[in-house]
Amino acid sequence: MPRVYLETSFVSACVSNRTDAASIYRREASRDWWQAQGPRHELFVSLAVLAELSAPAYPMSREALDWVMNIPSLEIDEEVRGFAEILVRERVMPSPVAGDAIHVAVACVHDLDYLLSWNVRHLANPNKLTHLRTICVRVGYLPPRILTPDLLWEDPDELS
């Protein structure tokens, strides 16, 4: 079963109450993915996702935390922090060594197949993937495929 890291923007989109067209699209696509594809994948978050969702100013914090309360949380250890530092130093991810860099490092170190995100600026950005792959291979990791929920649809017949 493919292993998927649910980055904060995915969880946030699931519970968003914003009414602009882009937010409605992301909410519906995320919820559709959760319903149709979630059961076909092994899902994970990290303590970084939980910390971001727990921030007092985070919109819909309680609802977002409830959404992922039964999802296993992956450890952020020295190996993850060290790789996040490399990602920032090599300019694959923006500084500081937090947020996006930690999310990618968690997915790499824990050998996940996918990182699901609506962050198309720093994460689900095709222009960054070659650079990410190069750094991952240099350090000895296989990078996850970083996709938006509307692009990660597995055919159930292909998973058996």
In this prediction, residue 160 carries a pLDDT of: 47
Is residue 141 classed exposed, middle or buried when 0-12, 13-18 and 19+ CB atoms within 10 A define those classes? buried
**Token pair for residue 39?**
């059961």
- Kindly give the pairing relationship between strand 3-6 and strand 42-46: parallel
Asked if the structure places residue 60 within a domain, the reply is yes
Residues of the chain with pLDDT under 50: 159-160
Start-to-end C-alpha separation, the chain: 9
Does residue 156 form part of some domain? no
Q: Taking a C-beta distance cutoff of 8 angstroms, is the pair 123, 107 a contact?
A: no
Contacts with 111 (C-beta within 8 Å, 6 or more apart), sequence order: 3, 141, 142
pLDDT confidence of residue 156: 60
Whether 142 maps to a domain, the answer reads yes
pTM above 0.85, yes or no: yes
Per the structure, how many domains does the chain have?
Answer: 1
The answer as to whether 157 is a domain residue is no
- Determine, yes or no, domain membership for 101: yes
Write down the pLDDT at residue 107: 96
Residue 26 sits in a domain of what CATH number? 3.40.50.1010
Q: Is there a domain that residue 159 lies in?
A: no
Answer yes or no: is 160 within a domain. Answer: no
Structural domain harbouring 65? 3-151
**What is the pairing mode between strands 114-116 and 42-46?**
unpaired
